[in-house]
Copies of this chain bind each other. A is one copy, B any other.
Amino acid sequence: MIKTVRELTDAASLKGMFHEHREGAPLPSAKSLKEVVELCRAIFFPGFFGNPNVSEHTIGYHIGVEVERLQSVLMEEVGLSEEVTMKFLQRLPELRRILATDVEAAYNGDPAAENYDEIISCYPIIKAIANYRIAHELLVLGVPLIPRFITEMAHSETGIDIHPAATIGHHFTIDHGTGVVIGATCIIGNNVKLYQGVTLGAKSFPLDENGNPIKGIPRHPILEDNVIVYSNATVLGRITLGKGTIIGGNLWVTKSTQPGEVRVQKTTPVPPEEGMKIIYGDYI
**A interface, CB within 8 angstroms of B:** 1-5, 7-10, 13-23, 26-29, 43-48, 51-65, 67-69, 71-72, 86, 89-90, 92-93, 96-97, 99-100, 103-104, 108-112, 114, 116-118, 120-124, 144-145, 148-149, 152, 155-159, 161, 163, 175-176, 178-179, 181, 183-184, 193, 195-197, 199-205, 207, 212-213, 215, 219-220, 228, 230-232, 234, 236, 246, 248-254, 262-273, 276-284
Contacting A282 at CB < 8 Å: which of B93, B103, B205? B205
> Which residues from chain B contact A250 at a C-beta distance below 8 Å?
232, 234, 250-252
For A252, the chain B residues whose CB sits under 8 A away are 248-250, 264-265, 267
Cβ A64 vs Cβ B67 within 8 A: no
Write out the residue numbers on chain B whose beta carbons fall within 8 Å of the beta carbon of A202: 282-284
Which residues of B sit under 8 angstroms from A3, Cβ to Cβ?
Answer: 90
Tell me whether A100 and B284 are in contact (CB under 8 A): no
Are A199 and B232 touching (Cβ within 8 A)?
yes
